Amino acid sequence: MSHYLLKADNYETPLWAVNELISALEIKPETRIWCPFHGMNGQMIKILRSHNLNVVNEEDVDFFDDKNVPREFDMILDNPPFSQMQRIVPRALSFGKPVILVLPILNLRTKWIKEITREKASHFITASPSKRVQYDYEGKPTKHCNFETTWFCWNTKGMWWGADERGQIFL
């Protein structure tokens, strides 16, 4: 089952935005990263591997099926389908590992994000890209993303080069 139920769900994060995030993180080479939302071209996995990071999956899987969870992984990092985020975030946090997901910034003030963060996360920050992200569709950049996004980062204490006093990273 694909998570990309809507055509609008299958937009991939561009190279520059992932590179900014990776440059701000301290990810050890042995860290096993699960990218459960492979997308159309597997762009996230390709970018992470270009940084010599250890990605533990090869394809898009049904994130909600326990048999598809890698036996061993240390963190989740991905761009999930936005139409499924209210199901994806609690599931991702249920593993008790660091989770970094790019999501629309408007969700930051929603009741469901506040509640799930309070219930399931020991640490929460956001990492804001240096400019508005225009996501790639079918391998090509778009120019019509009409909302801001940011990296929502749960349980990532000690993984950052630096954060401001409010726990925000500006990339």
* 3-class secondary structure per residue, the chain: CCCCCCHHHCCECCHHHHHHHHHHECCCCCCEEECCCCCCCCHHHHHHHHCCCEECCCCCCCCCCHHHCCCCCCEEEECCCHHHHHHHHHHHHCCCCCEEEEEEHHHHHCHHHHHHHHHHCCCEEEEECCCCCCCEECCEECCCCCCCEEEEEECCCCCECCCCCCCEEEC
Convert the pLDDT of each residue in 12-22 to its tens digit: 888 888 988 88
pLDDT recorded at residue 4: 47
pLDDT of residue 60: 67
Domains of the chain in start order, with CATH, are: 7-170 (3.40.50.150)
116-158, pLDDT tens digit by residue?
988 888 888 888 888 888 888 777 778 777 788 889 999 987 7
How far CA 93 is from CA of 7, 14, 124, 162, in Å, comes to: 26, 25, 11, 23
pLDDT over 70 at 168, yes or no: no
Confidence of residue 7 (pLDDT cuts 50, 70, 90): low
AA letter at 169: I
| pLDDT of 2 higher than 60 | no
Q: What is the pLDDT of residues 36-64, one digit of tens each?
A: 987 667 888 989 999 999 999 867 678 99
Q: CA–CA separation, 155 vs 73, rounded Å?
A: 14
Name the pLDDT band for 115 (thresholds 50, 70, 90): very high
| Residue 90, number of CB atoms within 10 A of its CB | 14
Instruction: Give me the pLDDT at residue 156, please.
Output: 86
C-alpha–C-alpha distance, residues 55 and 49, integer Å: 7
pLDDT for residue 1: 40
Give pLDDT tens digits for 72-103. 999 999 999 888 899 999 999 999 999 999 99
